[in-house]
Amino acid sequence: MIKVQGMAGQRVAVLGLGRSGLSAARALSAGGAEVLAWDDNPPARDAATAAGLTVTDLTRAGAFEDVARLIVSPGIPHLYPSPNKVIAAAQEAGVPVDNDIGLFFRSLATPDWNGFDQPPKVIAVTGSNGKSTTSALIHHVLTEAGKPAQLAGNIGRGVLDIDPPGDGGVVVLELSSYQTDLARALTPDVAVFTNLSPDHLDRHAGLGGYFAAKRRLFAEGGPDRAVIGVDEDEGRYLAGQLSEAPGDDRVIRVSVARKLSGPGWMVFANKGFLSEYRKGKQVASIDLRAVPGLPGRHNHQNACAAYAACRTLGLAPRVIEAAFHSFAGLPHRSQTVAERDGVRIVNDSKATNVDAALQALLAFDNIRWICGGLEKDGGLAGLKPGLDHVRKAYVIGREAAQFALGLEGVEVEICTTMARAVEAALTEAAPGDVVLLAPAAASFDQYDNFEQRGEDFIAEVRARL
């Protein structure tokens, strides 16, 4: 556990008692703070009481008298589309609002570090798509290279639940826009921006607010190194804002759209080959086509970002390449579930938006595509470049018929349920086909989360093999 520093003897309120909220409450208590915990959900309050926390109704008048800070779980809106009433009350009372990420960064360093040969480092990864895979891949490479590393944040353990890192330790954090938007301290040693596509627009009042939340990771703390995907305007802008000169190698530009050139530090993938350039000269190359756990252009982007982050820590290219080959990938992200009679079955339930689904479509040919769910803002037009890879679409979700209208030029079957879609796709699949779940939509119309949707897909597949 990372004990929260600087709040001993103070009253600190915690709103939201899920994984991050409970973790923050425990870490605050361990650091000597008096914790006042609250959740609108009675079972969550009961669980907190059973865990020994003091549950206090933060919705009552005067709840924030003598409270030093309010810690908020990431799923609770603090500004858009409208502030939660408890957060609004804290702001009205002048109480600072923070989250577990802010507590982590203010509490990580301890006097013990003075005796270390190599102070611990933090690599923080954000972006729209690929955060989880990039974070897990960095952690895998570091572990395979013999470095003590921990994975936390939006993946793995809660940030305050990890062990205090020792001499030379590395903490790899996946951070969502919900987490970066509110944290009062953001000071990673290496910060990674994978890409940007429209997502969570209601929470951030549009694409500009969404990008601004991501940008805080780089602007607030000033990382020693920044790895920036530059295939979108926002990434190019961010790289330019962080660079002092064209050859400033504190910024590493990453691309899978084109060969990068110039005097700076570049990592890009072209036709399946990763290349690293520094000062206009090639330093290393890796054939990503032979890496089974990283199929497709989107995973090549993840590989470039992870490679660049690991290079900032001094790892050799061949060490990174060897670790790439033993990376198994993550569940629900281009996950091969089975192969039968020449048919490959892939679970990419994490493809919850159009851009992520497009990358999945571009990674395979002859696709029997299971898609649909709670459609996000912006429509489905962005899928068009990948639709010629699709032999047929099997649409699920409560609004399957409406979703299907956005798939022009593709043979479509309205299935509604996962069971019916899997049955139809497997029945019609021929050798060389790929049965792919890449919904291009949120899961909440039928499932609690994308993981549950992916598990249902896997269960339906296995029931028929």
Single out the residue of 244, 447, 224, 235 nearest to residue 332, CA to CA. 447
User: Phi and psi (nearest 5°) for 367?
Assistant: -95, 130
First to last CA, the chain: 44
Tokens of 79: 């500004």
Tokens of 212: 């601004």
Q: Which neighbouring-strand residues pair with 324?
A: none
Distances (CA, A) of 197 to 78, 232, 353: 22, 9, 9
- Neighbouring C-alpha atoms within 13 Å toward the C-beta of 61: 0
List of long-range contacts for 234-241, beta carbons under 8 Å, 24+ apart: 234/196, 235/193, 235/195, 235/196, 238/193
Angle at Cα 153 formed by Cα 459 and Cα 251, nearest 5°? 115
Residue 127 annotated in ligand binding: yes
Contacts of 241 (CB under 8 A, 6+ apart): 218, 219
User: Phi and psi (nearest 5°) for 211?
Assistant: -65, -40
How many CB atoms within 10 Å of residue 378? Answer: 15
Strand 281-287 with 273-278, pairing: antiparallel
Burial class of residue 50 (count of CB atoms within 10 Å of its CB; 0-12, 13-18, 19+): exposed
Give residue 416's Cα distance to chain centre: 28
Residue 121 annotated in ligand binding: no
CB 438 within 8 A of CB 357: yes
Residue 131 annotated in ligand binding: yes
Return the exposure string of 274-299: e unless at least 16 CB atoms fall within 10 Å of the residue's CB, then b.
bbbbbeeeeebebebeebebbbbbbb
Q: Which neighbouring-strand residues pair with 229?
A: 254
Sign of dihedral through CA atoms 304, 305, 311, 315? negative
Residue type, 22: L
Residue 427 annotated in ligand binding: no
Length of the chain in residues, anyone? 465
Binding residues: 127-133
Binding residues for ATP: 127-133
